[in-house]
Structure 1
């Protein structure tokens, strides 16, 4: 089973971004989504942003993950 997770781009350096994934910052390749920009939500899979998401859709998905206890609550 594969899982892709919404993450928010918080920094971009060429084709590498730092993304916030439920409070954890990780590096992600933007090679597959060259139009992604700072502040966008992307669908992250194995270190690659594979799709730019609508913010509402991304937040809704993250909320569902929280309800399924896949993402810990943050304060």
Structure 2
């Protein structure tokens, strides 16, 4: 069993209204000095297989087809 973490974030230049809302809320809660917040998603996936490169290929295919909107999002795959 191979464990992996997929991190999906918005590409630079894509507006992030949720990140802006979090940034404002942190300021209202007294956390000064927060210059910018960008939000994203994290997926922890366990996949059958022994070969990390094959697993990485399958995980990337999952991101391309479902987990990330590659028009506006980037993703990274980390094998544990």
User: What TM-score do the two structures reach when normalised by structure 1?
Assistant: 0.32
Tell me: higher relative CO, structure 1 or 2? Use CA pairs within 8 A at least 6 residues apart: 2
Q: Which of 1 and 2 has greater Rg?
A: 2
User: What TM-score do the two structures reach when normalised by structure 2?
Assistant: 0.31
